[in-house]
Structure 1
Amino acid sequence: MRFSDVFSKTNVAQLCIGDKTFRTPDNSDMNVTCGSDKVYLTMLLCPIYFNGFNETMMFLNSQHTNPACKGEPDWDAKPPVLRFNISITSRECGSVLKVVNETGTGDFAHFSMVQFINISGKVCSKDPSNGAITYFEEAMYLFSCRYSLQYLISNTKMNVSGVTLAVKDTNGSFLSTLDMQLYADQLYETVLGMPIYLKTRVFVQVKASNLTDRFYVLLDRCYATSLPIYIENAHFDLFVGCNHDGQTLMEVNGKRQVARFSFEAFRFTEATNMSISTYYVHCATRLCVKDICPSLVEDCSARKRRGVSDPDSVSDVATVTSGPITINIENGYLLPGDGFGKAADSTVVAVSVIAGIIGAICLTLVAFIVYNKYYAKKVPELGKTIMYPRD
C-alpha cells in the first residue's frame, strides 16, 4: 500500500509527494546523536508516509499507549523529519541500559578495565489496522549510544570514591572531600564485606575531610538504584527528609562532620531470578555552618523545613555514591557463609542430627520386635518358670 492510497487528500501529503525522500524506508533514514544528557534521534518523515504510516503512529520501543514516547514532527525541515529526545537517565519509554566491562583504550588506557553503559532501543510503528489481518509492514528503526560510566558519574555529580564541595563564609571558601563508606557494625569500625545476605543491616557513613570545624554534613535524601547512575522511576528511597523507609534508622545528620544511618539489605524485584544481584546507594549531600544546620534539618513533627537567609552558610547539593552492594541468594534460601548464612547452615545441621537420632531409635525398636516374635516360635518354653524339686 502506497502513501498516495492512504494520505493523498491531506495537506501533509503535498510536502512529501515529489520529494526525493518519498520512497521505501532505509536504515540511513535515521540519524543518532549521543548528547551529554540526551540521545537525539532524527528520522526522515516521507519514507514513513510512503510505507503507510504517519508521525502519530511512531513510538519508542512500541510504547504505543504512552504519549511521552511519541516523536515531534518538523515539517519546516528540508526534508521533513521526526525528532525524538531521550534522556540518558530515564527508562520511561523502555530504552535498555546495559553496563559492560572493556579493556581501557585512548584516554582510559591507564585503566585495566573500564565500564561503559550501552543505551539502546527502537522506534516502531503502530499498525493502523483493527481487523484480523493487515497489509502494513512494520517500520522499525534501531538505535544505540555508548557512554563511559565514569563520564555519566561525573556528569551527574556522582562519584564512587568521593565528591568535592565548597562552602563560603566571610573568610572565603572552604573545600571538603566527601566519601561514603559501608560498615558491618554500629560502631562503624568493621568495613562491610561483600557479598551480604537479605536483611543484613548495612551501616552507612558519609564523612567530610579537610574541612574546618565550623561546618557539618547534612543529608537531604538517600536512595538506591540498580545501576551506578540515577534512573527515573527505577529507584528506591531510603529516606527523603522525614519520610523514611520502615527499615531505615537515622543516627546522625546535620550535627557532626559525619552523617550516619542504617538500613536492612534488600534486592530489587527485577533481580528475583538472579542468585547474585547488585545495587548502589546515593546520598544528596550538603555542607552547612554548624549554627545554621539545625534550621535546615526538617522538623518532622511539623513536617516542614525552615529556610536559611544566608546562602553562604550552606553549600550546593552534590551526590556521593557507594560502591556496589552485592546480595547473595540461591533459589530463595540463604547460602552458607557469614552472618545469616551461618545461622541457616547451623539450623540445617541441627535438624539433620535430630532426624538421624529418631531414625536410629525407630530402627532399633523394629528389630527388637521382629527378633522376639521369631525367637518365641523356636523356643516355646522361653519365658516360662521351671520348678526344680528340693533335696
Structure 2
Amino acid sequence: MWRALMYQLALIPLVQAQNDYCRTHRTFREPANTDINVYCGTNRMELHILLCPVYFGGYNETLMSLNAQYFKGECRGTPDWTVDPPILKYNFSITEEAVSACNNKIKITQEVGSGLFADFSSVQFVNISGMINSLDPSAGTITYRQEMIYKFSCRYPLQYLVNNTEMTVSGVSLAVKDSNGSFISTLSMMLYSDRFYTTQLKVPEVGLTLKTRIFVEVKATNLTGRFNVLLDRCYATTSPYPVNSTYYDLFVGCNRDGQTVMGVNGQQQEARFSFEAFRFVQHKNRTLSTFYLHCSTRLCERSVCTSLQQNCTDISSRRKREVQDTSVTDTATVSSGPIRTQVDNGDTVGIVSEVSEQLGGKHRSLQGVAIAAGIVGALCISMVAFIAYWIIVPRTIGATEKKMLFTTKE
C-alpha cells in the first residue's frame, strides 16, 4: 500500500503537466460512448480508452486498472501521448493464465447454430469480459468524483470452416463495449504422406497416383490448452471456392466414405484423418483431376468435447443430416491447396504415344523428302540425257549421210 502511494506521489509532477495538456484538448470533457475501443485479436485483446476524459473526471492513468487490481503492474494501462487524441492502452494475451491474472472472466456458452452454422444444432462461444475501474484517491467519507467504469467483452465463436486468425454513459460514467473476434487464424490444415505426420505431402506436377493415402491434420496454435479441435465435416470440391461447386463428403459426423480413416478428433489440439486419392467423374476427359479439401471445424472446451462427439459405434445414435450448400461460403474458408491426381485411363501412355507419333512423323517426313529428292534427281538426269541424245544423234546422222554421199560420187 505504502509503495503504491509513494509511486503515485512521485508521478504528481508528470501528471500535472499532462493534465495541463488535456485542459486545452478537444476531448477534455465528460465520458462519451465512443471513448473506449475493444480489439478482439486472435492471440491478444487490446483496449483503448481516451485519456483526457479520465483527467476531466479527476483521475489519471495511475488510478485506472483492470477489475480493480490497482496494485498489480500488469493490470494497469500504458498511456500513449504520441497519438491524437491521447489514449490509455491495455493489452493482454487471451491465454487462460493471462486472462485470469487480472480477474477477467471466461464464460463458455452454447447456442443454436445460425448464419454460417445454421446446419448445426449446437455451436459454442467463448466470452471474455471484464472492466476498467477508477480508484478514488479521496481519503474522506464522501467524494465528489464520479466513479468511472469501462466494461468490455470479446465474443469468439468456436466453430469455423477451415480449408491449410472491435458506451453507454450513466451516473457513474459506465462505458460498455462488446466486440466479436475470431480464432480462425490460429487454425491450419496440413497434408502429410506418412501415418506419423512427419513428412509433408508434395503433390507432383503429374499428379498423385489414384488410391495414394493422404494424411490430413487440422491444428490449433497459440490457444489456451482449455480447448480441443473437433472436426464435424470434411469434404472435397472441384473449385477452391466451394460456393456452387461440385463436392464430395469424406465424412459428416459418423457417416464417412469407405476409404476415410478417422484418427484423433476432439481429444487434443489437433485432429487427424486420412483418405485415399480419387478423381471426380466430371474430369474423365482430363489428364489430371484437381480438387480442394475443406473442413468444418470447431474448438470445444475439453470438458464439453466428449458430449459433442458422437457415438459412431451405435448405429441408432448416429446423426444423419444433410449439409446444404448455403452453409459453405468463401467468407470463412481456408483452402488446403490443389490436390492433383492422375486419371488412370491410359492417358499417361497416350501422352507418351502422342510424343512418339510426333517423333515418328518427323522421321517419316524426312524419308519422304529424301524420296522426293531422289525422284527429282532422276528426272533431271533423264532430261539431261534426253536433251543430249537429241543434240548428238542428229549430228552423227548428218555426218554419216555426208560421208555416204561423197562415197557415191566417187
TM-score normalised according to structure 1 size: 0.41
Larger radius of gyration: 2
Task: Report which of the two has the higher share of helix.
Answer: 2
